[in-house]
Amino acid sequence: MLLRILSAIGAFVLRRFEELGTIIMLYGETIRALRHKPRLRHILAQMSHLGVDSLMIVSLTLLFTGVVISLQTADVLIRFGAQGTLGGIVTIAIGRELGPVLVAVVCAGRVGSAITAEIATMKVTEQIDALRVMAVSPVDYLLVPRMLACMIVVPILTVFGDVIGVFGGWLIAVFYKGLTTYSYMNSIHIFAELFDMTGGVIKAIFFGNVIAVLGCYYGLHCPDGAEGVGRATTKTVVASIIVIFLLNAVLTFLLY
Amino acid sequence: MIEFKDVCMRFDDKEALKHISLTIQDGETLAVIGGSGSGKSTFLRLLIGLIKPTSGQILIDGQNIVPMSEAELNKVRLKMGMVFQYSALFDSMTVGENVAFGLREHTKLSDADIKEIVREKLHLVGLDGVENMMPNELSGGMKKRVSLARAIAVEPSIICYDEPSSGLDPLMTEKIDELIINTQKALSVTSIVVTHDMASACRISDRIAMIYEGELIAIDTVERFKKIQDARVQAFFRTLRTVKTEKEDKI
């Protein structure tokens, strides 16, 4: 009995390591393929498809995040007479952590799943094989443009989301808690640094990589059939979110 | 020339192909027949380098493709075209873009020249004026023909067909067969047609090879193949006679 349990655990761990190895190899192959001439038209199309379409959901997520942080912290700060720090607190929280992480989580759901669904459908309808037969590398044609698009788009969305989040905080501070715009902006000026924002952008570049690589990996390795496509999409979202949180902890430790 | 030398293919604990050895001459049309799951599609995927055999050698124009890297294989694949069972057209592209795909990737031809070649190849497969249509607007037979136009656009010397008549009505099957014959005549290509349709195999091929449970049990010219007394081969011919009788009854 004990042996069976141990062997099942061993098999599970081995499978996960095998999967991790394959993902790292695919990532390496994609990085190597970056030296080939970039397909600008494809990259721009992916940026538009994956990025512009996510603008609305990112805006809403960060707007309400800013609103909630401001609501939760304003009362406490006012009680201690520290209302002049509210803008700085909202900016640092959003710029360093909430902005990049929430944008990445939203993109994992919106962009990662779209990448997986598209590539998985291409796989089950033999379009990936057709690419290979026509001597076109799927890594060059599918993975590189998506990875570059994600590496560019996720940081841009993060900066955009940061601004919207800080704006959401300002809305509550000024129109609900009675603070002045000057006090809110001045606290941002005093407490926040540029690196609070750029550090978040650096994180976003890594998160963009994670979303693209996992999206492509689960698309390329999806089991046949419509059910397989659905399962691969779910796996992408779950795995991306886990890796994003894990990576966020590591990057926070290294950056700040 | 294409040579299979003692090729074996195993998936986990299932032996898909067992010690296959055969030679396909330049300009020849070989039909590979066999029932579902016999290993004929695996044969085609091995030939095009989509999978690697467990053992054995596959030589294309004297080059063994088995140990080749993907980049090396791509150079060999430039000589090949393939018509997939379900056409495998890129569904995000128009018909014209599908046919032009290989030309855009591997040649430096101008847009005007590519457009002209696309029009010419589509005309060759009997499809005019469909360049701007999307694949989902086409019927099964039209998709197969576009797939053939895409395969011949880069003027390969070898064309592989995976079940070209599957899912098509008898009239369309005959049209596709005619296309395969005409393409072979017009371009003098080597054609490998994987099919389970015996009537098609007899119509289009110079030789027929039969794979049964992963083994190559017979390979010969059409006329001689019909006379082979092996029960498994004869069973396939009986299906042909049954189909013919049914057709005659209907008429």
- pLDDT for residue B214: 87
Q: Span B121-145, mean pLDDT?
A: 89
- pLDDT for residue A206: 96
Chain A residue with minimum CA distance to B101: A134
pLDDT tier at B167, thresholds 50, 70, 90: confident
How many cross-chain Cβ pairs, A to B, lie less than 8 Å apart?
48
> Using CA atoms, how far apart are residues B62 and B16, in angstroms rounded to an integer?
25
Please provide the average confidence, as pLDDT, over all residues in chain A.
92
For residue B251, pLDDT over 60 is answered with: no
Phi and psi angles of residue A209, each rounded to the nearest 5 degrees, phi first: -60, -50
Which span out of A26-30, B9-13, B180-184 was modeled with the highest average pLDDT? A26-30
Number of other residues whose CB lies within 10 A of the CB of residue A242? 13
* Higher per-residue confidence, A39 vs A121: A121
Q: Which of A129, A135, A136 minimises the CB distance to B88?
A: A129
pLDDT digits (tens, 9 = 90+) for B130-141: 999 999 999 888
The complex's ipTM? 0.86
pTM, two decimals, is 0.85
Does the distance separating the beta carbons of B86 and A126 come in below 8 Å? yes
> What's the domain count of chain A?
1
| 3-state SS track over chain A | CHHHHHHHHHHHHHHHHHHHHHHHHHHHHHHHHCCCCCCHHHHHHHHHHHHHHHHHHHHHHHHHHHHHHHHHHHHHHHHCCCHHHHHHHHHHHHHHHHHHHHHHHHHHHHHHHHHHHHHHHHHHCCHHHHHHHCCCCHHHHHHHHHHHHHHHHHHHHHHHHHHHHHHHHHHHHHHCCCCCHHHHHHHHHHHCCHHHHHHHHHHHHHHHHHHHHHHHHHHHCCCCCHHHHHHHHHHHHHHHHHHHHHHHHHHHHHHC
For residue B246, pLDDT over 80 is answered with: no
Question: Chain A contacts of B154, Cβ < 8 Å?
Answer: 134
For residue A212, pLDDT over 90 is answered with: yes
Six-digit token pair at A131? Answer: 């690419």
pLDDT digits (tens, 9 = 90+) for A98-114: 999 999 999 999 999 99
B33 and B236 Cβ atoms separated by less than 8 Å: yes
> Using CA atoms, how far apart are residues A224 and A172, in angstroms rounded to an integer?
50
pLDDT digits (tens, 9 = 90+) for B75-88: 999 989 999 988 89
Does the distance separating the beta carbons of B154 and A134 come in below 8 Å? yes
A64 and A168 Cβ atoms separated by less than 8 Å: yes
Residue A139: inside a domain: yes
- pLDDT for residue B173: 83
What is the distance in angstroms between the Cα of A198 and the nearest Cα belonging to chain B?
37
**Domain range for residue A100?**
60-255
Residues of chain B numbered 10-29 and touching chain A (CB < 8 Å): none
Interface test with A, best of B44, B47, B50 (most A CBs within 10 A): B50
Residue A239: inside a domain: yes
Q: Span A161-181, mean pLDDT?
A: 93
Q: Span B186-209, mean pLDDT?
A: 88
Residue A182: inside a domain: yes
Q: Does A15 touch chain B if contact means CB atoms closer than 8 Å? A: no
pLDDT tier at B201, thresholds 50, 70, 90: confident
Sign of the alpha-carbon dihedral angle for B174, B178, B181, B187: negative
- pLDDT for residue B240: 61
Interface test with B, best of A134, A146, A220 (most B CBs within 10 A): A134
Closest CA to A171 of A83, A85, A69: A69
Q: Please name the residue ranges forming H helices in B125-197.
A: 140-153, 170-187
For residue B244, pLDDT over 90 is answered with: no
Residue A185: inside a domain: yes
pLDDT tier at A226, thresholds 50, 70, 90: confident
For residue A247, pLDDT over 70 is answered with: yes
What is the distance in angstroms between the Cα of A58 and the nearest Cα belonging to chain B?
27
For residue A183, pLDDT over 70 is answered with: yes
Please provide the average confidence, as pLDDT, over all residues in chain B.
87
pLDDT tier at B243, thresholds 50, 70, 90: low
Residue A194: inside a domain: yes
Sign of the alpha-carbon dihedral angle for B159, A29, A246, A208: negative
> Using CA atoms, how far apart are residues A201 and A95, in angstroms rounded to an integer?
8
Percent of chain A having pLDDT more than 70?
Answer: 100
Does the distance separating the beta carbons of B78 and A125 come in below 8 Å? no
Q: What share of chain B is helix, strand, coil (3-state, %, to 5)?
A: 45, 25, 30
Residue A2: inside a domain: no
For residue B31, pLDDT over 60 is answered with: yes
For residue B245, pLDDT over 80 is answered with: no
- pLDDT for residue B187: 82
Chain A residue with minimum CA distance to B93: A127
Q: In the 8-state DSSP scheme, what is residue B18?
A: E
Residue A25: inside a domain: no
Residues of chain A numbered 158-217 and touching chain B (CB < 8 Å): none
Q: Which of B49, B84, B106 minimises the CB distance to A130?
A: B84
Q: Does A29 touch chain B if contact means CB atoms closer than 8 Å? A: no
Question: Chain B contacts of A136, Cβ < 8 Å?
Answer: 74, 101, 105
Q: Does B236 touch chain A if contact means CB atoms closer than 8 Å? A: no
Residue A7: inside a domain: no
* Beta strands per DSSP E along B61-189: 63-64, 80-83, 158-162
- pLDDT for residue B218: 87
> Using CA atoms, how far apart are residues B134 and B130, in angstroms rounded to an integer?
9
Residues 6+ apart with CB under 8 A from B24: B1, B2, B3, B30, B190, B192
What is the distance in angstroms between the Cα of A3 and the nearest Cα belonging to chain B?
24
